[in-house]
Amino acid sequence: MSEGFKLEIVNPESSFLSKEKISEVVVPAYEGDMGILKDHISIISFLRPGLMRVFEGTNEEIYYVDDGIVEFKNNCLSILTSNIFDIKKMDKNDAKDALSKAEQDSQKNDISDQKKYLLEQKIEVLRNLTLN
């Protein structure tokens, strides 16, 4: 019997990450942060901008994701996202630039409520990342 489940993360450029024996993943879903463990029920959900935590035993990796889709089925978690990066390798200047752009975009009058919600989530997370 396997000790964990498989994780695959794909972004437009490539297959970002593929690992076996993952013990838990916490994703920033629209409904709130969602923890996924082995033998979780099958789900499909949407990501909101936030931090995704990947646990492999006692090791934890933290990634920033913009948006995307999460699917868990047959002990395989697939994540499709438009933008993802490891916060340990994050360039603070890139994060500040992304924050500035998100703040400018949120001030536009012609954006939908959904887009405004996503931008507010992104701004909150990026502010926290740039302050640390």
**14 with 46, same domain?**
yes
Residue 132: band (very low, low, confident or very high) from pLDDT cuts 50, 70, 90: low
**22 with 81, same domain?**
yes
User: Where in the sequence is the domain holding 102, given as residue range(s)?
Assistant: 90-131
**107 with 82, same domain?**
no
**Average pLDDT rounded to a whole number, residues 76-102:** 89
CA distance 6 to 18: 8
- Look at residue 83 and tell me whether its pLDDT is greater than 70: yes
Evaluate whether 92 touches 127 at the Cβ level (below 8 Å): no
**Secondary structure element (H or E) that encloses residue 127, with its range:** helix 113-131
pLDDT at 2: 56
State the total domains in the chain. 2
**73 with 118, same domain?**
no
**67 with 102, same domain?**
no
pLDDT at 98: 87
Residue 46: band (very low, low, confident or very high) from pLDDT cuts 50, 70, 90: very high
Phi, psi of 48 (to 5 degrees): -115, 165
Residue 70's CATH number: 2.60.15.10
Mean pLDDT of the chain: 91
**Average pLDDT rounded to a whole number, residues 99-113:** 90
